[in-house]
A and B are shown apart, each in its own frame.
Chain A
């Protein structure tokens, strides 16, 4: 497949791995402990597991799977809110597929659908708008979720709905922003991250400038990375290069897609439709200031929270669940007390077990197993 196979070339990968091994040997820190590199984005986590990247890296490099999966950081209360909205008889509740299995305090959207709520999976917010055009007698609600990556498409959908005056469409806005999240990780007391594999899709929208604080204030290197396995390996190589030279800068490995200044029409649409919330609740990380956006008053007609009574439920994470520590890279998934026992992909307690991009589900299904109960996993 053109433009994909080139980035999955085994010979190039092996050459890169050899260079990575050489670089690691020259970094003084590895004599004391392994290097911790965090990939912020769930897309990277997926790629790392899908191609078996962790097993190819020298043991001195540990990848920490960060909070960049929007499904994983969704708090239970917001899922309960979704279900309360979806259960209204006039509502067609539309959502991306991933979000359907996230557990609320009583059930998931998938279970609510089985119990009779009209919940439908869509592939784009524009599909939800098309449903609203077709079902004028119903209220179509789109579950807006994701970082800056998905914000432009939902903002443009709302602008389109406003242009067409589609009165039966609204969005339940749960968009979150990446910068406060990275700050929260960096400020956490037990933090031991030595460098970041930066979010490629978010940066395609916002550019590289918003991440400068990682290098200038926190003195950590970051390389904005593409999602093919060679992209990720090259980004790790670039991070090690910085670490071995004692530098920290924000570098862009994904220049074929990410312009340093971001995408200005996309940013304009986002600014036109959304404004920052004072704070937003995250699963595992708690409330983070300015980490979410809401729909501006000018578009209140398309804001589900203004259109329907939303319970705004605040449900504490289950006590046994350690998603927060995993998200911050403080513990590995298999160190969690309930990993693989009370919390499995069949019966997830925490959201990290739900999405295929969640670190726990990825370890459970794709083979981090070698680290915990079954030491020989697939090593035959």
Chain B
């Protein structure tokens, strides 16, 4: 990672309450840390709102997609990414799984007093890089500094808009018996990377977060399989939760095959040791796609041709069983229910 150092007027090593005071210190912080990194003509005038040309938006489609997400990840820097990259990719992906072309983001940060200026700069540059990867611009934002203890280091909220093409009709209620369930690669990497990076497990794990913007992959998929019923990004709660939501919304059952579920050896081992179920681990660069059977092959080929989908797999199918039920055919030949998680996954003790 490039080490970026504050230049110009923000020379203090840490953010102080003065930087949130609305005065000169705040202006310097915003200008040098955020505006410089996000560099674009909509943000540059520093108006209280971003302004868009409506005609430019409607050129992309007939519906606006609008979403927001807050990021409070701990640790802020983890293998494969950081809170900045996560905040951009998370919102971009929330737009993209609706079939939208992601266009613009707003970014609000809440900084705990005493936070390192250098870390903030690293994060803003990481956001800028992720935004470039995703083809979006960060066009407006907000910065608050709160007293020590009032937040945990740094919280980031991103809000995004995108436009959905007239022909794209995706929805969790559209799955039909016979459809195939696809994923674009290894599952559970992000969740395992974060747990590993917290350091309280004393486990050395080589697992990196899969954090990535998925708009390009999704565009390729929807072009190859225009009949795709539904897309979801299995973040918190993992694939198991997303499948349950789809099964409930569509009033169908879903059966997945454990043997076809793509899992890295390292993630499998990690889950074995801690007694966790990888189906419930978070992903930040994965989609679950419900695709009609006759388009599944084309969909898989399109996913596998994309750098973020080389390990794509068909992991199951939509069935006509008990509505709302997700089941798994285990590697051992048995069948079990995959339910919604009640609380957080807590490791088993024996």
Contact = CB atoms under 8 A, between A and B. Distances in A.
Are both chains from one complex? yes
A248 to B, nearest CB: 27
Given A101-B343, A149-B350, A150-B350, A56 B337 contact: no
Given A8-B331, A378-B253, A380-B255, A367 B348 contact: no
Contacts of A42: 350
Interface residues of B, number: 34
A10 B332 CA distance: 5
A255 interface: no
A145 interface: yes
B317 to A, nearest CB: 10
Interface in A357-380: 357, 364-367, 369, 374, 376-380
Given A377-B322, A379-B321, A51 B332 contact: yes
A123 interface: yes
B349 A70 contact: yes
Contacts of B202: 123, 127
Given A367-B337, A369-B337, A374-B322, A52 B350 contact: no
A80 B274 CA distance: 27
A121 B269 CA distance: 21
A10 B274 CA distance: 24
Contacts of B8: none
A10 B331 contact: yes
B149 to A, nearest CB: 14
Interface string B302-328: 000000000000000001111001011
B56 interface: no
B41 interface: no
B241 to A, nearest CB: 13
B50 to A, nearest CB: 38
Contacts of A146: 349-350
Contacts of B334: 51-56, 229
B200 A365 contact: no
Given A52-B336, A377-B325, A378-B335, A150 B349 contact: yes
Contacts of B62: none
B265 A378 contact: no
A46, A54, A122, A365 — most chain B CB neighbours (10 Å): A365
Interface string A317-351: 00000000000000000000000000001100000
Contacts of A71: 349
A299 interface: no
A32 to B, nearest CB: 27
Contacts of B333: 10, 13-14, 52, 56
Interface string A125-154: 001000000000000000001110110000
A219 to B, nearest CB: 29
B142 interface: no
Contacts of A294: none
Contacts of A365: 337, 339, 342
A356 interface: yes
Contacts of A97: 346-349
A170 interface: no
A247 interface: no
B346 A52 contact: no
A249 B334 CA distance: 29
A366 B349 contact: no
A100 interface: yes
Nearest to A121: B346
Nearest to A363: B337
B200 A123 contact: yes
A378 B332 contact: no
Given A1-B272, A4-B272, A380-B321, A145 B349 contact: yes
Contact of B336 (A51, A230, A346, A356): A51
B330 A51 contact: yes
B349 A380 contact: no
A50 B349 contact: no
Contacts of A52: 328, 330, 332-336
Which 7 A/B pairs are nearest by Cβ-Cβ distance? A52-B334, A380-B321, A97-B346, A367-B337, A378-B327, A345-B342, A51-B332
Given A369-B337, A380-B253, 11 more contacts: A1-B268, A10-B333, A14-B333, A51-B334, A51-B336, A71-B349, A97-B349, A98-B346, A101-B343, A123-B347, A367-B335
